[in-house]
Amino acid sequence: MTVKVYGPAYASATRRVLACFVEKGIEFEIVPLDLLKGEQKNPDFLKLQPFGLVPVIEDGDFTLYESRAIIRYYAEKYATQGTDLLGKTLEDRAIVEQWLEVEGQNYHPPLYTLVLQLMYYPKMGLALDHKVLEECEEKLGKVLDIYEERLSKSKYLAGDFFSLADLTHLPFTYYLLTETDKGYMIRDRKHVNGWWDDISNRESWKKVLQL
Amino acid sequence: MTVKVYGPAYASATRRVLACFVEKGIEFEIVPLDLLKGEQKNPDFLKLQPFGLVPVIEDGDFTLYESRAIIRYYAEKYATQGTDLLGKTLEDRAIVEQWLEVEGQNYHPPLYTLVLQLMYYPKMGLALDHKVLEECEEKLGKVLDIYEERLSKSKYLAGDFFSLADLTHLPFTYYLLTETDKGYMIRDRKHVNGWWDDISNRESWKKVLQL
């Protein structure tokens, strides 16, 4: 069964889902939405996703949103197909979940604000808020210092295996490196930089960027 | 095996874990930390939790942090013991995960800021930032409007069963109602209010509040 993915392929949260689908060898079809035209706020779409956010998946008559929930579902549903993204034991999965939460709660919020301001504010004619930018860079830097320590002892965040914990970092970290002048936050940390080179050179991520 | 829980029992994220443990009938022992003295930043504690945050659990030689990761692990490990908190099928669990993510990404951030400012700023002698408070109330209100619609059709967030998706809302919503003047955000929404009365009157939550 081909899974329908609503959301332009370039949207960061959609890319999180697509990277998972490519790793797992899941067939999908993208149903594009024009976010600039606000199609994610159309009544028909709000029936699928009441918050008006992408992505949403339709898999037969099953509908699901929130990218980090979608990748968990498919990693478990197709546990033995493609790349194992949850580890082999309950404890492996728990550590994957721990780092998924670290990403969602600690890493993503300051990174999101940095990328939003540096990437979009100039295009939208908005002034940068330098106080907020400094606070976010400081917060993200502290988180990355902990990542550096972790990755000095462990090849990937959850252990010696690539998992959802790593994959979930791809879309926004990619923006930090390619669309802002803050890439040194990754590049100047030896083990974070090596980890980034590893995970961003996976065939799955290269394919997602071409979609 | 008794699970050690580091963190004072009154800390909101610790309460999330304890509510899960009581629902599942898991034996635990609280190892108190004095957050006001900054014991969560002691070197010994940072070895367990490098971000310096509570709670952390120790279960034999297995250590785990991030409250939402801990509750997932125990809900799965003891799936057939105590209250079923993940549903019966993979699709049930996916919907539980969807609402766990909605809580973590959409509901918690504005609620956290509201509670932090209204509950702690006066005690710390800090001035309230009324612009930020207004923005957070507007954001949380929009999220609660979607909850109201959802809960008008479904007894609980993930379906007709109490789950981690509901449980994860308990600690901070409790503060909103008991420690701020914004309780009307819950009380004025009929179905959200009914849901809150239901989940906050569970024996597990009452027990957690007494610890």
CA distances from B154 to A29, A185, B150, B194 (A): 30, 45, 6, 12
Question: pLDDT tens digits, residue range A170-198?
Answer: 999 999 999 999 999 999 999 999 999 99
Integer Cα distance of B183 and B162 in angstroms: 22
Q: Which positions in chain A touch B95 (Cβ < 8 Å)?
A: 64
- For residue A36, name the pLDDT band (cuts at 50, 70, 90): confident
Q: What's residue A156's pLDDT?
A: 98
Q: What's residue B175's pLDDT?
A: 96
Contact A72 B94 (CB under 8 A): yes
Q: Is A105 on the interface with B (CB under 8 A)?
A: yes
The alpha carbon of residue A109 is apart from the nearest alpha carbon of chain B, in Å, by 9
Are B164 and B86 a contacting pair, CB within 8 Å?
yes
Asked whether the predicted pLDDT for residue A124 surpasses 90, the reply is: no
Q: Which positions in chain B touch A97 (Cβ < 8 Å)?
A: 66, 68-69, 72-73
The alpha carbon of residue B160 is apart from the nearest alpha carbon of chain A, in Å, by 17
Q: Is B30 on the interface with A (CB under 8 A)?
A: no
Look at strands A56-59 and A62-65 and give their pairing.
antiparallel
What residues does A52 pair with on adjacent strands?
none
Q: ipTM score here? A: 0.95
Output the CA torsion sign for A22, A27, A32, A33.
negative
Question: pLDDT tens digits, residue range A55-112?
Answer: 999 999 999 999 999 999 999 999 999 999 999 999 999 999 999 999 999 999 999 9
> For residue B158, how far is the Cα from the chain centroid?
16
CB contacts < 8 A, A to B, total 80
Q: What's residue B1's pLDDT?
A: 80
Are A174 and A200 a contacting pair, CB within 8 Å?
yes
What residues does A3 pair with on adjacent strands?
A28
**What is the CB neighbour count within 10 angstroms for residue B91?**
15
Question: pLDDT tens digits, residue range B170-202?
Answer: 999 999 999 999 999 999 999 999 999 999 999
Please give, one letter per residue, the 3-state secondary structure of chain B: CCEEEECCCCCHHHHHHHHHHHHHCCCEEEECCCCCCCHHHCHHHHHHCCCCCCCEEEECCEEEECHHHHHHHHHHHCCCCCCCCCCCCHHHHHHHHHHHHHHHHHHHHHHHHHHHHHHHHHHHCCCCCHHHHHHHHHHHHHHHHHHHHHHCCCCECCECCCCHHHHCCHHHHHHHHHHCCCCHHHHCCHHHHHHHHHHHCCHHHHHHHHC
Contact A104 B109 (CB under 8 A): no
Domains in chain A, CATH or no CATH each: 3-77 (3.40.30.10), 90-206 (1.20.1050.10)
Look at strands B28-31 and B56-59 and give their pairing.
unpaired
Per-residue pLDDT tens listing for chain B (211 residues): 899 999 999 999 999 999 999 999 999 999 999 988 989 899 999 999 999 999 999 999 999 999 999 999 999 999 999 999 999 999 999 999 999 999 999 999 999 999 999 998 988 899 999 999 999 999 999 999 999 999 999 999 999 999 999 999 999 999 999 999 999 999 999 999 999 999 999 999 999 999 9
Closest Cα partner for A49 from B187, B106, B210?
B106
Mean pLDDT of A38-42: 90
- Within 131-150 of A, beta carbons closer than 8 Å to B belong to 143, 146, 149-150
Q: What's residue B123's pLDDT?
A: 86
Integer Cα distance of B163 and B180 in angstroms: 26
The alpha carbon of residue B71 is apart from the nearest alpha carbon of chain A, in Å, by 10
- Within 46-65 of A, beta carbons closer than 8 Å to B belong to 50-51, 62, 64-65
Q: Which positions in chain A touch B62 (Cβ < 8 Å)?
A: 91, 94
Q: How far apart are the first and last CA of chain B?
A: 20
